[in-house]
Structure 1
Amino acid sequence: MSTTSRGSAGKRRLLGEHLRALRESSGLTIVQAGAGIGRSNPTISRIETGKRTPQLIEVKALAELYGADKETTATLLKLLSEIKDEGWWDAYKDVMPASLANYVQLEAEAASLKVFALAVVHSLLRTEDYLRAVLRATSPSAPAKEVDRLAAFHLERQRQSLLQPENPLELIAVLDEAALRREVGGRDVLRAQLEHLLRSMEAPNITVQILPYDKGAHGALNGSFTILDFPDPSEPSVAYVDSPGGNLYLQKSPDMRRFEKTHAELRGSALDKPESERWLRNALKEM
């Protein structure tokens, strides 16, 4: 799912080439560059290959990190200003942390997501009330207006990714039973959430499988994760892990093999579509 203008592709690539040349001249690796400005390795890589438009603050930070002079920095900023491809998420910059903006841009460029949700329903599958309940629980000091804006952002994210009439994002989600038993927002909110999951499963681009308690221990007991696959088969997939300690992006082959294997095993253990639908209907009857 491309979110960028074709007319800007050449300038994105040119900007990326300039930044890569500066990085190499400075003797820094992609890992060091990412650590230097607080961005993931895949983000730096995608900027350098012209697949991602960097933010103004990122270009300035990279130029400073690489020791670029004023003239070179001005050239970089001019190139950036000529790229006309703001993402829909830019309207929510006032409430969206940089870490979330970084992830959402990757997600918007992906063709498919393979996710595992351990504790709560995945954010792309949440109802508005469930979203708000999660936001209030995870950000208890956030003002009501901020919660409203973040909820609106996530709902728009669902529309932009899953509900597009052409080339919608493919979502393959395994949900642990724990995520479906926890009464986030109360019983009524959970009931509406389970009903929403049933409706979502009717979409051809959405696969939801439930992993019941009786399947026992599994390879993802440490937490949820997401695998992002991109339209270009030559472009490496990215594994994303969100935790209270920070966001982790993994792209190296051994890491990706481990996450792909784990997700495949989870799908193999989880209920298939008819069984998952039946599980949800039974859970609703019990409420």
Structure 2
Amino acid sequence: MKRRKIGRELANLRETSRLTIEEAGQAIGRSDSTISRIENGKRDVQIIELKALLEAYDAPVETREALLNMHSASPEEAWWTDFDLPPNFDTYVGLEAEAATLRVYALGSVHSLLRSEEYARALLRGGNPSAPMGEIEALLKLHMHRQQVLTREGTPLHLIAVLDEASLWRQVGGPDCQRDQLRHLIGQAEQVPNITLQVLPYSKGAHSALNGAFTILDFPDPTEPAVVYVDSPGGNLYLQKPLDTRRFDQSHSRLRGMALDEADSVAFMKTVLKEIK
């Protein structure tokens, strides 16, 4: 989050100074791709680079002090540093921990924050069939710990999830495990006020997200841009450009409009629960 804020402030300063990305890079002896990555929050800015950019942009004294103080501030120790996370996943966990709202579309399986422990274990085992059990249990502990954002004191995360019907029927871990997962979902939908669950039935036909699940992260600061996270076999994608976030924002709104309302979704899940053999 700090990296994103510094990058955004530097981008604003560069635009105010009417320098292009290429000119900013030339001014401090860096490539235009480096400047772009700094501004997009994809790369830490070194202190020598920060000072040089602030000089090149002729930044006001107050702004210089604020950014230099932000850069030098020691970050709080994050709980996930105790875990051996999959590549690049620490970025997502950090963003999730900072988010105020998650808007989710889940397609093939139930979203991580909504999984029961046995369902999560079975899903991890199915996705990593050759992994040692110790590794599976370590990942399980991580995923279970992440769910604490839903019950944290003060401002628990607001989760707005659209679940495709496929995620309700797929018998992860077998029928008993799937039935327990459905009971878990029903309990969350009925008892947790900061969780909004809607089911998108097969009968609704084609829609804009048939090609995969996604998560939109919104932050407490209204000036902090949303981030769209897409997990795929080819790698994790973090989309921040307004054109991309607006496209997914519209997609999620359409999905919610197509999905059953909250009460009907609970009734639908109870019907599926009865029919799983």
**TM over 0.5, yes or no?**
yes
Within 5 Å, give how 1:30-109 maps onto structure 2.
33=37, 41-44=40-43, 83-92=74-83, 95-109=84-98
CA-to-aligned-CA distance 1:11-66 (integer Å, 9 cap, x gap): x96xx98xx99x942133468647xxxxx94444xx56xxxxxxxxxx7xx99xxx
Opposite residue 197 of structure 2, the aligned amino acid is V
Partner residue, 2:201: 212
Measure the CA separation in 1 of the matches of 2:219 and 2:141. Answer: 26
Partner residue, 1:253: 242
Q: Secondary structure at the match of 2:88?
A: helix
Identity %: 50
Q: Secondary structure at the match of 1:194?
A: helix
Aligned length: 238
Cα offset for 1:83?
A: 1.2
Structure 1 consecutive aligned stretches of length 4 or more whose deviation exceeds 6 Å: 79-82
Inter-CA distance 142–114: structure 2 relative to 1 (3 Å threshold): same
1:117 aligns with 2:97: no
The answer (yes or no) to whether the contact 1:42–1:238 under 8 Å persists in 2 is: no
Structure 1 unmatched runs, 5+: 3-8, 35-39, 49-58, 64-78
Inter-CA distance 41–134: structure 2 relative to 1 (3 Å threshold): farther
Partner residue, 2:64: none
Cα offset for 1:248?
A: 1.0
Partner residue, 1:192: 180
Measure the CA separation in 2 of the matches of 1:191 and 1:31. Answer: 51
1:156 aligns with 2:156: no
Structure 2 unmatched runs, 5+: 15-23, 51-69
Opposite residue 151 of structure 2, the aligned amino acid is L
Bigger Rg, which one? 2
Opposite residue 171 of structure 1, the aligned amino acid is L
The answer (yes or no) to whether the contact 1:43–1:102 under 8 Å persists in 2 is: no
Normalized against structure 2, the TM-score is what?
0.78
Inter-CA distance 199–119: structure 2 relative to 1 (3 Å threshold): same
Partner residue, 1:126: 115
Normalized against structure 1, the TM-score is what?
0.75
1:28 aligns with 2:32: yes
Opposite residue 168 of structure 2, the aligned amino acid is L
Structure 2 residue corresponding to 1:141, chosen from 130, 140, 148: 130
CA-to-aligned-CA distance 1:264-286 (integer Å, 9 cap, x gap): 00000000010001001111122
Partner residue, 1:274: 263
Inter-CA distance 31–153: structure 2 relative to 1 (3 Å threshold): farther
The answer (yes or no) to whether the contact 1:172–1:208 under 8 Å persists in 2 is: yes
Measure the CA separation in 2 of the matches of 1:260 and 1:137. Answer: 31
Cα offset for 1:82?
A: 6.6
Inter-CA distance 149–260: structure 2 relative to 1 (3 Å threshold): same
Inter-CA distance 129–258: structure 2 relative to 1 (3 Å threshold): same
Partner residue, 2:164: 176
User: CA-atom RMSD, angstroms?
Assistant: 2.9
Cα offset for 1:142?
A: 1.1
Measure the CA separation in 1 of the matches of 2:145 and 2:71. Answer: 26
Opposite residue 86 of structure 2, the aligned amino acid is P
Cα offset for 1:84?
A: 4.7
Measure the CA separation in 2 of the matches of 1:98 and 1:82. Answer: 26
The answer (yes or no) to whether the contact 1:42–1:249 under 8 Å persists in 2 is: no
Partner residue, 1:37: none
Measure the CA separation in 2 of the matches of 1:80 and 1:139. Answer: 38
Inter-CA distance 179–42: structure 2 relative to 1 (3 Å threshold): farther
Q: Secondary structure at the match of 2:161?
A: strand
Cα offset for 1:223?
A: 0.1
